[in-house]
């Protein structure tokens, strides 16, 4: 009788994938709902669009900065503990936001608590998926991260309907409570890495045999001394800028064009549902061709989408923008594969966290800046043009990126 342990038919990585999909659905679906609550809150309290965008910007920059710490903690303690903690804080932020009475309450609940919670969710999950899959890594991460698109397609529409049926406070409370429960429960399924399990890596190779391969690479301190690190960092600052303008200001822009609040929310639904296929397609394309080429082309096409929107302020163009944005805005899923290619797995979580910080620098600036531009000019045109220019610049930087010397 053989002493070898029987290899399960179901690779646990697929359970990890399903858990990541669900957490991403809740995380980004809830975050994208900020645009749905934007006008009801600003109208009730008499805030300008720039003021209402401020807490979102604070949440972006603080969440990005804390992502580096979250990556380090996940590398050390594993994703289960970190994500569980993050789910509690994230959901609590929305529960508190449902009770705010002034702008400072929004800064505390969304700008601080939601930032702390969200910082501990994305980076540990992406780094974990990159470790669990060696073959078809981009595709698998794309499937897990496509929960973002599903969440965007579903949660804002639910939140908008709750606002219509009840009010924005009740809607926020329901969204916050559901987020807390779902994330915390799902986090219990997470496992840091497959090396300690006698399993087969999605039909690719035995994970125990490759345990040493998975931890090779540059440390965080070694990575930041390379030119490639800072090129990717700058490109991701730009990506965060034009990505978040679409997150926060698409719904207000749609209502400015004469669409109802519910119809405007359906634009996010289109972005989200198309984004499911978009993220999977981007991951597949990155595996099939190259991650670098896929990112370069995606940035360039997003630039075209924004420039087209700035040139034609029509509902028809908005829907075309929503389709292009939905397909290509999820290109951020390739950050972990690009980091793994350039810097290895040694401190993948920490380096990924640094790039998320880069993303949130741009994402923190752009919503408030776009709000100021609208307040000053009565139009988003200049903001959309700026997004187009930065999209082109980011694609050029990625085009100039050369491989890091092998460690």
Q: What's the pLDDT at 26? A: 94
Q: Which of 63, 24, 333 is nearest to 187 (CA)?
A: 24
Q: Say whether pLDDT at 222 is over 50.
A: yes
Domain covering 12-195+208-400 assigned CATH 1.10.10.10 in the classification: no
d(CA 245, CA 249): 6
Q: Which of 198, 211, 201, 189 is nearest to 136 (CA)?
A: 201
Q: What's the pLDDT at 294? A: 93
Q: How many CB atoms lie within 10 A of CB 34?
A: 23
d(CA 333, CA 352): 11
Q: Say whether pLDDT at 45 is over 60.
A: yes
pLDDT band at 5 (very low <50, low <70, confident <90, very high): low
Q: What's the pLDDT at 210? A: 41
End-to-end Cα spacing for the chain:
43
Q: Percentage of the chain surpassing pLDDT 90?
A: 34
Mean pLDDT of 200-210: 42
Q: How many CB atoms lie within 10 A of CB 256?
A: 15
Q: What's the pLDDT at 170? A: 93
Apex 88 CA angle, 84 and 89, nearest 5: 115
Q: What's the pLDDT at 214? A: 45
Instruction: Copy the structure tokens of residue 382.
Output: 């200049």
Which secondary-structure segment (H or E) carries 254? helix 227-256
d(CA 238, CA 243): 8
Q: Say whether pLDDT at 396 is over 80.
A: yes
Q: What's the pLDDT at 84? A: 96
* Reported pTM: 0.73
pLDDT band at 8 (very low <50, low <70, confident <90, very high): low
d(CA 353, CA 233): 11
Enumerate residues 6+ apart whose C-beta is below 8 A from 165: none
Q: 258, 318 in Cβ contact below 8 A?
A: no
3-state secondary structure of 217: strand
3-state secondary structure of 204: coil
d(CA 15, CA 73): 22
Q: How many CB atoms lie within 10 A of CB 206?
A: 13
Q: What is the pLDDT of residues 233-273, one digit of tens each?
A: 999 999 999 988 887 788 888 888 888 877 887 887 788 78
Q: What is the pLDDT of residues 58-91, one digit of tens each?
A: 887 888 888 888 888 888 888 999 999 999 999 9
d(CA 371, CA 363): 13
Indicate the average pLDDT of the chain: 84
Q: What is the pLDDT of residues 299-309, one digit of tens each?
A: 999 999 999 99
Q: Say whether pLDDT at 33 is over 90.
A: no
Which secondary-structure segment (H or E) carries 206? strand 205-206
Q: What is the pLDDT of residues 138-191, one digit of tens each?
A: 788 888 888 887 887 788 889 988 998 889 999 999 999 999 999 999 999 998
Report residue 353: phi and psi, to 5°.
-60, -40
d(CA 219, CA 130): 17
Domain ranges of the chain: 12-195+208-400
Q: What's the pLDDT at 215? A: 55
- Tell me which of 131 and 107 has the higher pLDDT: 107
Q: 107, 65 in Cβ contact below 8 A?
A: no
Apex 340 CA angle, 343 and 27, nearest 5: 125
Mean pLDDT of 359-373: 85
Mean pLDDT of 92-120: 92
């Amino acid at each position: 009788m053989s002493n070898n342990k029987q290899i399960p038919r179901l690779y646990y990585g697929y359970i990890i994938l399903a858990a990541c999909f669900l957490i991403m659905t809740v995380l980004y679906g809830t975050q994208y709902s900020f645009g749905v609550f934007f006008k009801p809150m600003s109208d009730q309290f008499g805030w300008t669009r720039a003021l209402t965008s401020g807490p979102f910007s604070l949440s972006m920059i603080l969440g990005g900065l804390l992502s580096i710490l979250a990556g380090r903690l996940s590398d050390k303690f594993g994703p289960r503990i970190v994500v569980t903690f993050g789910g509690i804080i994230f959901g609590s932020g929305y529960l508190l936001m449902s009770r705010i009475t002034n702008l400072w309450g929004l800064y505390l609940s969304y700008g601080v608590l939601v930032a702390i919670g969200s910082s501990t969710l994305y980076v540990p999950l992406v780094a974990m998926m990159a470790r669990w899959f060696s073959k078809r890594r981009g595709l698998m991460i794309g499937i897990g991260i496509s929960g973002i698109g599903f969440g965007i397609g579903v949660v804002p529409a639910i939140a908008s309907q709750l606002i219509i049926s009840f009010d924005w406070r009740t809607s926020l409370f329901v969204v916050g409570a559901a987020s807390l429960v779902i994330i915390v429960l799902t986090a219990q399924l997470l496992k840091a890495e497959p090396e300690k399990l006698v399993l087969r890596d999605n039909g690719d190779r035995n994970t125990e045999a490759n345990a040493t391969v998975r931890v090779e690479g540059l440390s965080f301190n070694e990575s930041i001394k390379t030119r490639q690190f800072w090129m990717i960092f700058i490109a991701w600052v730009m990506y965060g800028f034009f990505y978040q303008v679409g997150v926060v200001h698409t719904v207000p822009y749609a209502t400015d064009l004469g669409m109802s609040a519910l119809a405007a929310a359906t634009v996010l639904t289109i972005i989200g549902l198309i984004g499911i296929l978009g993220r999977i397609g981007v991951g597949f394309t990155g595996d099939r061709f190259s991650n670098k080429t896929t990112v370069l082309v995606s940035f360039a096409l997003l630039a075209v989408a924004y420039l087209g929107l700035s040139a034609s302020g029509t509902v028809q163009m908005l829907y075309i923008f929503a389709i292009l944005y939905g397909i290509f805005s999820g290109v951020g899923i390739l950050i972990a594969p690009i980091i793994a290619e350039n810097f290895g797995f040694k401190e993948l979580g920490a380096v990924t966290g640094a790039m998320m910080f880069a993303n949130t620098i741009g994402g923190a600036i752009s919503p408030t800046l776009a709000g100021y531009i609208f307040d000053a000019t009565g139009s988003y045109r200049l903001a959309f043009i700026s997004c187009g220019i930065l999209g082109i610049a980011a694609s050029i930087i990625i085009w100039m990126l050369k491989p890091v010397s092998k460690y």
